[in-house]
Amino acid sequence: VQLQAFGGGSVQPGGSTTLSCTASSNSFFSYIVGWFRQAPGQERGFVGAIRSSGDRVLYAPSVKGRFIVSRDDAKNTVYLQMNSLKPEDTAIYYCAAGNMVTRDLNAYDYWGHGTQVTVSS
């Protein structure tokens, strides 16, 4: 499964943006998809994950209530809607696919190249 995340860019604090993660595989609908982020000098950390059926979504405490993960399997795409953005949300964002809804990045088998999100005035 090849994944590609895109939609990053520069956003002002308090603003919103949506990232997309598209997959090459027609079996994408069967995978759990997670979002992770990595800021300079920091380890890659969990943001959110959505189950294959879309009926369960897990969020990191730092983004819960501000970010929304959703999926459109007809388009082989998972979205990360980011609202009320803060400077500390600045990072490279990655999507990954696996078979468990988990915060553990080691449980994800497929990774896409990241996309940069910069929150700054």
Read off φ and ψ for residue 116, nearest 5 degrees: -85, 130
Rounded CA separation 87/74 (Å): 34
Residue 24 reports pLDDT greater than 90: no
What is the number of other CB atoms lying within 10 angstroms of the CB of residue 104?
10
Q: Compute the average pLDDT of residues 95-120.
A: 95
Mean pLDDT of the chain: 94
Report phi then psi at 107, rounded to 5. Answer: -85, -5
Query: 5 pLDDT exceeds 90?
Result: yes
Residue 61 DSSP SS3:
coil
pLDDT tens for residues 42-86?
999 999 999 988 889 999 999 999 999 999 989 999 999 999 999
